[in-house]
Amino acid sequence: MTLPALLQIDEAEVQISAIRAQGAGGQNVNKVSSAVHLRFDIRASSLPEDVKERLLALRDSRITQDGVLVLKAQQHRSQDLNRLDAFSRLHELVNSVARPPKMRRATQPTYGSRQRRLEGKSQRSQTKALRGRVRNGSDSH
C-alpha cells in the first residue's frame, strides 16, 4: 500500500503577521516583533474538499467559527525561525487529516472467546453462591 503524497499548502493562501512575543526575554522582547501570527482560511484554501471537512471537524481551539486556523509561534528569538515553526505546525496539522480514517467493520466474537466468557461467569457465580450463610445438616429449620 502506498502512502498518499503529503499535501502542500500555497504560501499565498497564508497570512503572516509579525507581533511582539509575550513572556520573559528582557529588552529584546519589548522592542523586536519576533513572534509570528499565521492565519489560514481553511474554506478558501485549495485543499481537497474532504480534507477541508476533516480539518473543520477537528475540535481544535485554534480554528475559529469562520473556519480560520490561527497559529502563534514565539518559541524562537528570530522571526524567520518562528515563521518556519508556524509553517511546520500548519503542515503537520493538515497532513494529520490528509488520509481518511479507516472504517470500522463490526465483527463477531469467536467461539473460543464466548466459551471463556461463559466459563468465567459460571466460576464467578459459584464463588458468590458459596458466600451464603453456612447451614448445618443436623440443624432443622
In a domain, 107, yes or no: no
For residue 115, being part of any structural domain is answered with: no
Q: Say what the pTM is.
A: 0.64
Is 81 inside a domain boundary?
yes
Instruction: Give the chain's domain count.
Output: 1
Determine, yes or no, domain membership for 83. Answer: yes
Give the tens place of pLDDT for each residue, 70-127: 999 988 888 899 999 999 998 888 888 888 888 999 999 999 999 999 999 999 999 9
Looking at the domain assignment, is residue 103 inside a domain? no
Range of the domain at 78: 11-96
CATH code of the domain containing 29: 3.30.160.20
Q: Within a 10 A sphere around the Cβ of 11, how many other Cβ atoms?
A: 8
* Cell representation of residue 104: 470500522
CA distance 36 to 69: 14
Is residue 1 domain-resident?
no
Determine the average pLDDT of the residues in 14-30: 77
